[in-house]
Amino acid sequence: MNVFDVGIIGGGVIGQGIAYELSKAGLKTAVFESGEIGGKATSAAAGMLGAHSENEKRDIFFELCLESRNLYPSLAKELLEQSGVDIELVQEGMYRLAFTEEEGRSLQSLADENELEWHSRENVLANEPHVSEDIAGALWLKHDGQVKGSSVCHAYAKGARKYGASIFEQCPVFDVIKEGKAYKLVTSQGVFICGKVVVSSGVWSGFFFEKLGLRNPMKPVKGECLAIKPKKLVINKTVFYEHCYIVPKKDGTVIIGATSYENDWDTHPTVKGVSELMIKVQKIMPEIGSEPVVSAWSSLRPQTADGWPYFAEHPEHEGIFFATGHYRNGILLAPITSLIVKDMILKTNQYERYVHSFSLNRLLSDAKGR
């Protein structure tokens, strides 16, 4: 029978994470994915868990990022046990570089006792000898780590299946129609009845906002990356300057990212984008210029009007939830998002402050005044 407690629209890292937590909690869960599991933004991500690298303000969004990042070590073990997939968690910290004395002073002012430590130029070069000698120093973000985003998604999916979830690939959802107290999901593989529905279809969630009578807050922010497989350089830690980062992965490749183009739905990496990255990365690490490029790719970050995600129930249609708009941080935020959505559906009220802060009120009030 095509009847489920919860139907999840979108099988990226957010949808699969939610499916994992809900099926683990005993709910009969289905994921509907129009393409392949994790095939869109999720597999394009560099996988940084940048609670600090993404935030300077100490607001509720920073707290959300930090809490999610801190869930990763135990989640990595749990997912390995449940799914056999290693999400390749690396906890080496990251270097945020300063090139001028002024940048250095500004980063030093962020240093604290627990998470952020200022390292002198000499110290950085001793640890990362290929970084440019022109640096003034770096802030070491001790606990910001990284994972392989696509592996997190696949581990969640395998784990969810083990807990009984059904995952339908090549199965776009075309419509959501109220059916008594439940909802009919109209898909390419037939009609499914779901007691509750979660919209987690990344930048394409906008379609469902509109279908369900809300303003579409989603816009694409195209991001391009490239990967090298160094023959000579040894890079130990993630290093970044402004919006260019160098992320050494466990398999020996190094990801260089990422460009950022708003309102661009095209998903091909372009010569312009890739050359922009190549110029920036050689400022950070001049010797990287002679290393072989193995691939380049691009995808769409799901951005909302104010850059924060939504974790919210529809104001008029009880049982329809939105978990979307993770923009630059969907890999980082997948663990906490999954728990928040479970909390909303099971009404356990553990994450009320996040539900309050990331509600649809921002959309309804036009996201002003925050």
Q: Which residues bind ligand FAD (CB under 6 A)?
A: 9-15, 32-35, 39-42, 44-48, 149, 172-173, 200-202, 204, 223, 225, 257-258, 299, 301-302, 324, 326-332
* Residue 137 or 273 with smaller CB distance to ligand FAD: 273
* Residue 310 or 351 with smaller CB distance to ligand FAD: 310
Could you give the CA distance from residue 163 to residue 179 in angstroms, rounded to a whole number?
Answer: 27
* Residue 65 or 136 with smaller CB distance to ligand FAD: 65
List the alpha helices (DSSP H) in 128-254: 149-162, 205-211
Q: Which of 37, 40, 36, 14 is nearest to 298 (CA)?
A: 40
Does residue 35 sit in helix, strand or coil?
coil
* Residue 232 or 265 with smaller CB distance to ligand FAD: 265
Could you give the CA distance from residue 9 to residue 276 in angstroms, rounded to a whole number?
Answer: 35
Could you give the CA distance from residue 9 to residue 18 in angstroms, rounded to a whole number?
Answer: 11
CA–CA–CA angle 351, 353, 148 (5° rounding): 55
Check if the beta carbon of residue 300 is closer than 8 Å to that of residue 265.
yes
Least spacing, CB of residue 150 vs ligand FAD, in Å: 9
Q: Which of 185, 184, 95 is nearest to 141 (CA)?
A: 95
* Residue 225 or 254 with smaller CB distance to ligand FAD: 225
* Residue 277 or 345 with smaller CB distance to ligand FAD: 277
Check if the beta carbon of residue 308 is closer than 8 Å to that of residue 362.
yes
Least spacing, CB of residue 172 vs ligand FAD, in Å: 4
Q: Which of 269, 255, 267 is nearest to 331 (CA)?
A: 255
Could you give the CA distance from residue 344 to residue 324 in angstroms, rounded to a whole number?
Answer: 14
Q: Which of 24, 6, 4 is nearest to 339 (CA)?
A: 24
Least spacing, CB of residue 328 vs ligand FAD, in Å: 5
Could you give the CA distance from residue 324 to residue 218 in angstroms, rounded to a whole number?
Answer: 9
Q: For residue 299, give both structure tokens.
A: 């995808």
- Provide the 10 A C-beta neighbour count for residue 240: 21
Q: Which of 286, 300, 294 is nearest to 251 (CA)?
A: 294
Check if the beta carbon of residue 336 is closer than 8 Å to that of residue 357.
no
- Provide the 10 A C-beta neighbour count for residue 115: 17
* Residue 132 or 299 with smaller CB distance to ligand FAD: 299
Least spacing, CB of residue 326 vs ligand FAD, in Å: 4
Least spacing, CB of residue 329 vs ligand FAD, in Å: 4
Least spacing, CB of residue 272 vs ligand FAD, in Å: 15
Least spacing, CB of residue 185 vs ligand FAD, in Å: 9
Least spacing, CB of residue 110 vs ligand FAD, in Å: 20
Least spacing, CB of residue 194 vs ligand FAD, in Å: 13
* Residue 38 or 137 with smaller CB distance to ligand FAD: 38
* Residue 17 or 137 with smaller CB distance to ligand FAD: 17
